[in-house]
Amino acid sequence: MRKDQLNMKKITINSVAAYAGVSKKTVSRVLNNEPNVSDTTREKVLKAFKELDYTPNPIARGLARNRSFIIACLYDNPSKSYITRLQSGALAACHEHGFNLLIHPCELRGEALLENIEQLLQTSRLDGLVLTPPFSDHADLVAFLRRKNVPFARVASVKLDDESISVRSNDEQGAYEITELLIELGHKDIAFIKGHPDHSATEQRFNGYRRALEQHHIAYQERLVEEGNFSYHSGADSAQTILHLEPRPTAVFASNDYMAAAVLKAATQMDLKVPDDISIAGFDNAPIARHIWPGLTTIAQPVEDMTRLAVSHLIEQINKSDSEENEEDSGPLQITLEAELICRESTAAPKI
């Protein structure tokens, strides 16, 4: 059968088989790089692929193999830049492996979460799930997914002590370094604004702050610590308290850049010069950190890399569990990437 005889009809595995003069099963073998196909046959089929411009139908394939080639990325994160970076890393890995990415924003709080996820699983027949903060350490969710036997990977989770895929950055170390920077500049009264309690990063960053103080023999002062929730607003509230303390701290380390930006705004409104009158540091290296004046000293995490790695390993696991039927979990996979300190204009030695 010649190509033009097909006359623009949909190209299916049957057309290819007919064109190449083999059975559709053989075409399928070539498609999936299965062994036991002679070189000459394989080449005939590959030639047919090219000449017919054939693309296998992922839906049919999915039906036959009970797979959707779709993974979903769960998030409930206030930071747009964080989300888009997550997505971009996840997409890169998905494309590499021929998967598609579904994004699924949903709320951490509320009874409905598990139902919501269950419905997502039911209706989309996902092959796997990527948990991003604050879901990465949601014990109920993790237990639920284990019970349902749904492959998943966690991004920026704290808990390293289990057998699932998890990629994180070293938040504790980052916070340590930024605090140490302030200390070495000569600051002693360093205020700290905590993040959202649901995020495990919150505790990590706080720990880094405390460890740096301790290491440098500076007493921890509870009065300098405010509760925030990563939002700009919460930063603004905390700033009001912190900037009116007596004596006023000479530096503020906020757990993310939005809160740091809010502190900067509040300080500017109070006619405090940054960094002369007060130093400010953030975390995350969000775009705003370099879009304001002065630019924020902060910590850059390799968010794209984290997600890319997580998704990549997730897909590997999916593919593996597909071929081997034995349920040996191919071992845990825990990766920790380093974060990078970025110095901008918002930090300097205190003017005595």
Q: What's the CA gap between 168 and 321, in Å, rounded?
A: 24
Nearer to a second copy by Cβ, of 41 and 144: the residue is 144
Q: At what angle do helices 257-269 and 232-243 cross, to 10 degrees?
A: 50
Residues 149 and 312: beta-carbon distance below 8 Å: no
Considering only 17, 27, 101, 155, the residue that binds a second copy (CB under 8 A) is 101
- Does 12 contact a second copy by CB under 8 A? no
Shortest reach from residue 35's CB to DNA, in Å: 6
Residues 89 and 308: beta-carbon distance below 8 Å: yes
DSSP secondary structure letter of residue 248 = P
Q: What's the CA gap between 307 and 84, in Å, rounded?
A: 11
Nearer to DNA by Cβ, of 42 and 233: the residue is 42
Nearer to DNA by Cβ, of 13 and 183: the residue is 13
Please name the residue ranges forming H helices in 159-298.
171-185, 200-215, 232-243, 257-269, 288-291
Q: What's the CA gap between 85 and 83, in Å, rounded?
A: 5
Binding mask 120-149 vs a second copy (x if CB under 8 A, - otherwise)?
--xxxx------------------------
Stretch that binds a second copy, among 50-58, 187-195, 196-204, 322-330 (CB under 8 A): 50-58
Shortest reach from residue 321's CB to DNA, in Å: 12
Bridge partners of 300, per DSSP, are: 340
- Does 240 contact a second copy by CB under 8 A? no
**Which one of a second copy, DNA, none is in contact with 28 (Cβ closer than 5 to 8 A by kind)?**
DNA
| Token couple for 291 | 């879009």
Nearer to a second copy by Cβ, of 186 and 294: the residue is 294
Hey, CA dihedral for 253, 287, 198, 100, is it positive or negative?
negative
Nearest one of 82, 65, 14, 32 to 298, comparing CA atoms? 82
Considering only 269, 322, 338, 351, the residue that binds a second copy (CB under 8 A) is 269
Stretch that binds DNA, among 33-41, 126-134, 188-196, 225-233 (CB under 7 A): 33-41
DSSP string for 99-128: -EEEEEE--SSSTHHHHHHHHHHHHH--SE
DSSP string for 42-95: HHHHHHHHHHHT----HHHHHHHHT---EEEEEE--S-HHHHHHHHHHHHHHHH
Nearest one of 228, 248, 260 to 344, comparing CA atoms? 260
How many other CB atoms are found less than 10 A from the CB of residue 341? 16
* Contact positions with a second copy (CB under 8 A) in 219-238: 232
- Does 24 contact a second copy by CB under 8 A? no
- Does 231 contact DNA by CB under 7 A? no
Stretch that binds a second copy, among 51-59, 274-282, 310-318, 335-343 (CB under 8 A): 51-59
Stretch that binds a second copy, among 166-174, 211-219, 284-292, 321-329 (CB under 8 A): 284-292
Nearer to DNA by Cβ, of 24 and 290: the residue is 24
- Does 98 contact a second copy by CB under 8 A? yes
Shortest reach from residue 112's CB to DNA, in Å: 24
Phi and psi (nearest 5°) for 333? -140, 110
Q: What's the CA gap between 39 and 43, in Å, rounded?
A: 6
Shortest reach from residue 153's CB to DNA, in Å: 23
- Does 26 contact DNA by CB under 7 A? yes
Shortest reach from residue 127's CB to DNA, in Å: 14
The residues of the shown chain that bind a second copy, judged by CB under 8 A, are 55, 57-60, 62-63, 68, 70, 80-81, 83-84, 87-88, 91, 98, 100-103, 105, 122-125, 232, 258, 261-262, 264-265, 268-269, 287-288, 290-293
The residues of the shown chain that bind DNA, judged by CB under 7 A, are 10, 12-14, 21-29, 31-32, 35-38, 40-42, 56-57, 60-61, 63-66
